[in-house]
Structure 1
Amino acid sequence: MSHFPAPGWYGKLPGSGDFMRRRLPPGLIDSWSRWFQNGIERMRTTEGADKGTSPQFIKAPLWNFIIPASLGVPVIQMGCLLPARDRVGRQYPVCVMQLYLLEEWHSLRLRMAGDWYYQLGKTLSMAVQNRYSGDQFDRALAGMPPIPEPDSGLRSDVLDIIGYQDVPCHLNWPQVESYFDPLQYSSFWWTNQSDGSAFYTHSHSGNFTTRLFFRLFNPPHARRGDHNGLHPPLFNQS
């Protein structure tokens, strides 16, 4: 059981008129807020967007992410990220995530989270598309099954080294389990695909940057509903 019993979230929803936040530590919200604000401002400046809107931003895909506990906030973050806007049309992302303390972490949590990521992405997309209020979104999140708890009987020092290949993995990017290290500095991002997007992956080293923001919210060919051809994974380091 996590010290954080339910997913938290931050950002804007079309059903509300201002920033919204639920169940996330202030320091973590500050980190995401700075990144969002800097990215939005840079995108508007670069694109010369009229009235503070970017036609590319709102077409960006739904992303899964996992973030280590070494980037200023001592928690592991697993969740989804999506472009959104508030009631009057001001563009801003929204993110939702499950947090884990380092002492709660085991790689099986990620290995067993494939169905959870998919359902979380669908729930977030519905909240944006159907203009949920904050309370409606919270109720939808509360109705989701949690990430499965690793069975202590499955775990051993030997399997921690050689891996848990006998445990089913439903992640649409199975390799991310072996790439991720909660004590290192790389975060990993991959398209959720519940929105019909092509499959893209990305790794980023260190704190979030405007370059990362552009890669996620203005990536070449990674558009929702884009089925024109096969697109290789965008697994780059930035």
Structure 2
Amino acid sequence: MTAGFFGKVVTHGDFVTRRLPPALVGLWDAWLQAGLQASRALLGARWLDVYLTSPVWRFALAPGACDEHAWAGVLMPSVDRVGRHFPLTIAAGAPGGAALLDWLANGQDWYAQAEALALSTLQEGFALDRFDSAVQALAPLPDAALPGQLGGADWRVELPSFDALAALAPRISAAALRGHSLWWTEGSAEVAPSLLMCRGLPGPELFGGMLAGVWPQAVSPCT
């Protein structure tokens, strides 16, 4: 699926969006608005400085995390022409199931290209048409589709031998991660390099952590 984008850029006074389904944009917008509001309440007068220096987050959404598709992309702090602050998202989708761990392990070149494109919107001389063409030209995501993905709360498959377990691992991980999202970042001055896994999208209470490293106690570091 060709990549698209949604959010704010410095050359325009309103939201810009290309090639993302309206239903997804509506869900994404509501999620971001709630998270930004919660982070403003948490960070108070620090919010703007923290927001402007917050890190780029890469994400992989399993089917059921946001809608019934798998999505991969990057989320970056941005601002529009009149100074209203709202993130920019670049995303590409995969119908049906997808192996999120494959994207995590083998898709970093794609994520690096998407992140570089997002950062290019901050450069002098940015032009939306050129940016849109570059987003459309992004190489396809690594093929992570899983036909016959395991589903439901309980399931059983024939196991001819224990040697077959390795081949089943991608399908098992996809089933276990259904409805979850993975988020990771190289960090910033405020945020340590991190990997975040959530059921669904990150809750509003996690935005303080994503922007400023102020995590709720319920979010435990992996050891």
Paired-residue identity, %:
27
Q: State whether residues 180 and 200 of structure 2, in contact with CA within 8 Å, keep that contact through their aligned partners in structure 1.
A: yes
Structure 1 Cα separation of the partners of residues 76 and 173 of structure 2: 23
RMSD, matched Cα:
3.4
TM-score by length of 1: 0.70
Structure 2, unmatched stretches of 5+, are 145-158
The structure with more helix, counted as a fraction of residues: 2
Residues 167-200 of structure 1: CA deviation (Å, up to 9, x unaligned) = xxxxxxxxxx99665862221100157xxx8531
8 Å CA contact 1:64–1:79 kept in 2: the answer is: yes
Please name the residue that 1:15 is paired with.
11
Residues 24-62 of structure 1, C-alpha deviations (whole Å, 9 max, x = no match):
111111111011112222333333449xx6111111111
Q: Are the equivalent residues in 2 in contact too, given 1:67–1:182 (CA < 8 A)?
A: no
Is 2:91 the partner of 1:97?
Answer: yes
What is the SS of the residue equivalent to 1:86? coil
Larger gyration radius, structure 1 or structure 2: 2
C-alpha contact (below 8 Å) 1:76/1:101 kept by paired residues: yes
Q: Is the 8 A contact 1:9 1:24 kept in 2?
A: yes
Aligned residues: 199
Alignment of 1:153-164 (within 5 A): 158=164, 160-162=167-169
Give the Å deviation of 1:201: 1.1
Q: Is the 8 A contact 1:70 1:184 kept in 2?
A: yes
Does the CA contact (< 8 Å) of 1:204 and 1:212 recur in 2? no
The aligned counterpart of 1:30 is 26
Q: Secondary structure at the match of 1:85?
A: coil
Q: Which residue of 2 aligns with 1:168?
A: none
Question: Residues 191 and 107 (structure 1 numbering): CA distance in 2 closer, same or farther, change over 3 Å?
Answer: closer
Distance 1:97 1:182 in 2: 23
Query: What TM-score, normalized by structure 2, do the two folds share?
Result: 0.74
Query: What letter corresponds to residue 168 of structure 2 in structure 1?
Result: I
- Residues 63 and 178 of structure 1: is their aligned pair in 2 closer, same or farther, counting only changes over 3 Å? farther
Aligned to 2:154: none
- Decide whether the 8 Å contact of 1:78 with 1:99 is kept in 2: yes
Counterparts of 2:91 and 2:130, CA distance in 1? 17
| Partner SS for 2:33 | helix
Change (3 A) 1:41 1:70: same
Q: Is the 8 A contact 1:79 1:95 kept in 2?
A: yes
Deviation, 1:160, is: 3.4
Aligned to 1:224: none
